[in-house]
Structure 1
Amino acid sequence: MMNRIEFMKKLEMLLQDISESERKEAIQYYNDYFDDAGVENEGMIIEQLNSPEKVAQTIKAGLNEEGENGEFSENGFTDSRFEDKKEVINESKSDQRNQSYTKQNETKKDDTLKIILIVLGCLLAIPVGLPILCTAGGLLIGFVSAVIGILIAVLATTVGLILGGIGLIGVGIVKMVAAPPAGLVIVGGGLIMLAIGILFLLLSIWIMTKAIPYIFKGITDLFRKIFNKKGEKAV
């Protein structure tokens, strides 16, 4: 089946034997009819018109006052077969526009209702969720503070033991000049303190590099699981 462009070109070619003004009016009439019908109805219009030859015959018959369908008046060429159909098409388009407008309004109302329900849900959740959130936040802050406090205590003990051990070793060495046995005891005590300080230093390094990252990773994973479960329930 030919399309609109092919149909109108063929029709214009078949109307070469009538006057230019009459040909333009006829071509304009059928172009307007296609425009009014819309692209989606193009195939239906071509089927109704039958063929360019049939339309050209109708136009020429109207000009010769031999046909009943086409005529030229003061308003130009008209084809009575399609005047009622034009009104039906226009009414159909108007109904489609009204339906589209109605759907848009309904969609806007649905979106507004969803927003209202979400806001109400948040307001209702505040009395329950806020205390839980505050409690969880307090526990988290307390836990982090405790970890930091332990780390500070271990670091302070480490520094004290190392400095104390070094000091005792120095005193013991001096003491060994006057009283070697007492000096040896003091040096031994200093070495023990220094060894314990080194152990605490290693413990501090382990806490900073291993324990604290592991603890915070566990807390992050816990909160992630909680929120993921809430998301799954909501879905």
Structure 2
Amino acid sequence: MTEPQKYINDLAAYLSPLAAKDRDDALEFYDEYIADAGLNTRKAIEEKLGTPRQLGHKILADYSIKVNDKAAKKGPASAKSSWRVFWWVLVAIITSPITLGLGIAVLAVLIGIGAAALGLIIGIIAMIGSIAVIAVVALYAGVTLLIVEPFSGLFYLGIGLTLIGLFLICVPLSYWLIRLIAQGIANFAKFLYNRIQARREAK
């Protein structure tokens, strides 16, 4: 097995998250690229493209960005798609051969923003959960008090029903807000990633 073939085989191992067709297309592209560039040794290939691990993570980041951009044309992409962008960009930056100072700064910013967004999302979910729990407790209290204290029972039933209505309104709004937050994080990650790639290409 030649060194270019060994490199492509090693690269394939890092592209397992991709669908078979997308993985084959990427491998075919880089196989042809290596051949056209006349890169016959492992050292020459890695000087141009990086290690299979680095290139694999770059391909996954690029692919997740492409999918997210396509989905975001009709509004915020799914939270799963946006967080996938954040994750693969983070991994690509960690394994990318960039300067130590720049890498640490970018990672610190990404992790900080990601942690803040995750905390906000958890807070939203906790708030929705609290509304649901209080609504159930109020309804239970209202039903149990109806016989002994009808007015108090009706009061708690009213609170419970109001909270259920609020819950039904908040669930879709929260879902949309979470998608919006995740898309914002993905867009910021893409911005940093593109800046790093532009800096690498300028060298």
TM-score category (smaller protein): 0.3 to 0.5
> When the two structures are superposed, what TM-score results if normalisation uses the length of structure 1?
0.40
